[in-house]
Amino acid sequence: MQFHYALVDDLLSREEFERRVEEKIRDCGDLVDELTGAMLVVADLGRQHVKIHGLVAKSSLFSFFAKVIEKSEPMEFDRTDGDKGFVASILVGDETGETRLVLWDEKAMAAQEIEKGDVLEVIGKPGKRPGDIMALAIRKATCEIECRNNISPLNTAPAERLTIEARLLSLEEPRLFTRRDGRGGEMRGAVIGDGSGTARLICWMPEILDDLVPGTTLRITGAIDRSRPPVREYSVDEKSTVEQIEMEIEVLMNSIAGVADEGVYSVRGTISRVLPARSFIAKDGSRSHVRNIMVRDATGEIRVVFWGDTAVLHYFQGDSITIYNATARVGRTGERELSIGRGSTISVETQVFGQPIEFQGTILSDRRGTLIDDGTTSYLINGEHPHGREVRVTGTLTGHTITPETVEAAELSREKVLLRCRRLKEQIDPARPGLKDHSGHAP
């Protein structure tokens, strides 16, 4: 009933609406349910459906019929939390005017099922821009709608199909979405690169990308250019073909000094600092993670922000890292940073060698594995070891993993406690390093 009350919430109070619904049910001899009663009350108030010229009223929700005049294909964008979203636009009209429907995420992907000339029954609310309607529910209707002749189309260029030769950098797992008619569908994302840089590839026929592996060179025929500067994006569908070819393609890489306050960049460097991952609650109520690391090359250093699953992977100081298709922005401190979201891909290279090692630290266990940490350096450690125990280990170091030969209990000295506190403070607040002892000197 709340859904229907929103159509008339500028005309009467919630209590009055509920009273009228109960009265309508009694007048019908209790032969209708609450939902039908609510629909009848809305109809009595003249708000069951409105014409497009009536969308300027103050009601928080509208219901209307309209004909599809033009539509845009779904476009992918970066959310503030680093995740990806989709948005699509549909220009609709009736004999009184036209309006733009804005569809987000699953509704945007389902818009592919809507054709020019379809008549839609729409429930929506005012959008952020004047004249826009955010579509909450859409279904195809059987009535006829006549549109006025002087209609301004959406400002979108005709879809241009291109042939692209690029290196496949990463390939996501297929994702499900729901079409307008309730049927399920699949789409798949990828990142490609060439001498001009990197681009997102959205595939609405995931099987086209089957049997392909990152690192191969592709010839994509019939790709639709959906780019909006500075983001390059292409989509492929049932009219497109993707084939592997024998060709070497170098992907344009940027220097860290060349990263501006905005845009999309690919950089290669060395991890110079790793900060702990932090958890937070996302907008959809799920728990996610974020982690900051610092990356340096010959031209400078930059903060890189990892979101979601990439934030809980292991990163180690001194490793080489390659980052493709990262979004630049200005962070909370006013400095440039790169954000790693769903449209980005990373590659980390670790020198693998075996050498004797003796190391003392605290055992830390979480869902990523077991580590030994001395407040400055941490290693993965093979075997089962109690969480929180201070130990001295001798063994072999291969990459970032210690294979222990001996493990002995050890005492944690005051100096080591102060050192770890100082390191923790620097991680939390890098601008104020150092923890002084009673003499005023750093330990």
* Digit-coded pLDDT (tens) for 171-202: 988 888 766 555 677 889 999 999 999 999 99
- Residue 232: C-alpha distances to residues 174, 202, 355 (Å): 21, 11, 45
At 442 the pLDDT is: 35
5 or 384, which is more confident?
A: 384
Q: Which fold has domain 2-140?
A: OB fold (Dihydrolipoamide Acetyltransferase, E2P) (2.40.50)
Q: Token pair for residue 292?
A: 């900051």
Domain 2-140 and domain 161-245 have a common topology: yes
Which residue, 413, 423, 373, is CA-closest to 393?
A: 373
All structural domains of the chain with their residue ranges: 2-140, 161-245, 256-349, 354-412
At 35 the pLDDT is: 66
- The pLDDT-based confidence of 270 (bands split at 50, 70, 90) is very high
Residues 6+ apart with CB under 8 A from 220: 162, 163, 164, 165, 166, 192, 201, 234, 236, 240, 241, 242
Chain mean pLDDT for the chain: 81
Region 243-272 average pLDDT? 94
Which residue, 206, 203, 217, is CA-closest to 169?
A: 217
Is residue 380 within 8 Å of residue 340, measured between CB atoms? Answer: no
Q: Is the peptide bond before 430 cis (omega within 30 degrees of 0)?
A: no
The domain 256-349 is placed in CATH, from the list 2.40.50.140, 3.30.1330.10, 3.90.700.10, 3.40.50.720, at: 2.40.50.140
Which neighbouring-strand residues pair with 71? 90
The domain 161-245 is placed in CATH, from the list 3.40.630.30, 3.30.420.40, 2.40.50.140, 3.40.50.2300, at: 2.40.50.140
pLDDT of 257 > 50? The answer is yes
Q: Which fold has domain 354-412?
A: OB fold (Dihydrolipoamide Acetyltransferase, E2P) (2.40.50)
* This prediction's pTM: 0.55
Q: Token pair for residue 181?
A: 């008619």
- The pLDDT-based confidence of 304 (bands split at 50, 70, 90) is very high
Question: For residue range 67-79, what is the model confidence (pLDDT) as tens digits?
Answer: 898 888 888 776 6
Buried b / exposed e along 400-419 (16+ C-beta atoms within 10 A): bbbebeebeeeeeeeebebb
pLDDT of 163 > 80? The answer is yes
415 or 283, which is more confident?
A: 415
Q: What is the C-alpha R_g of the chain?
A: 29
Residues 6+ apart with CB under 8 A from 115: 68
Residues 6+ apart with CB under 8 A from 366: none
At 283 the pLDDT is: 64
**What CA–CA distance (Å, rounded) separates 314 from 400?**
10
**What CA–CA distance (Å, rounded) separates 224 from 230?**
17
What residue ranges in 172-286 does DSSP mark as E strands?
A: 175-178, 184-194, 197-203, 217-225, 233-236, 241-245, 263-274, 278-281
